[in-house]
Amino acid sequence: MDFEYADALNQAIRLLSLRHRARAAALLAPLGLHPGQEALLLELDRTGPMIQAQLADALGCEPPSVTLMTRKLESAGHIRRAPAPSDKRASVVELTDTGRALAARVKELWCALAEETLRGVPAATAAELPALLRTLTANVDTRPARDA
């Protein structure tokens, strides 16, 4: 691969990532959310209550980041934390009624952001993008492999 192509590809991915995050932040701000918090809400909405460590793994981020997000979302009344029945050192996180309502609003924003992002992209190409992007992500993932 020559440098010109590599540079164009890497720059395009970098700019997409930056612009997408900025656009997401702008859409989430009126809901009182910061980027990353929506992913936590959506994960809990998708899976139900889970231990913070499992949530960190599911989100692909470090446990201290999840701890900070859960504290903020808990103080806003969107989630609740309770000691895990099997391990009092671990916390189980779950959505509150307001958290479920907020997750529903986030889903609407996420659909709008996806439509905005894919504007002008042929339907066939758009259909292939999730799998392609998962492959690209796996190719650059430096996290240790999880035990299955």
Better pLDDT: 146 or 44: 44
The CATH class that applies to domain 3-140 reads mainly alpha
Q: How confident is the model at residue 88 (pLDDT cuts 50, 70, 90)?
A: confident
Where do the structural domains in the chain lie, given as residue ranges? 3-140
Per the listing, tokens 């989430």 go with: 28
* Alpha helices (runs of H) in 60-142, residue ranges in sequence order: 63-75, 97-118, 123-140
Cβ atoms < 10 Å from Cβ of 61: 16
Better pLDDT: 147 or 13: 13
Is the per-residue pLDDT at 143 higher than 80? no
Angstrom CA distances, 133 to 72, 77, 128, 140, stand at 30, 34, 9, 11
Spatial contact of 50 and 44, defined as CB atoms under 8 Å apart:
yes
pLDDT value of position 148: 47
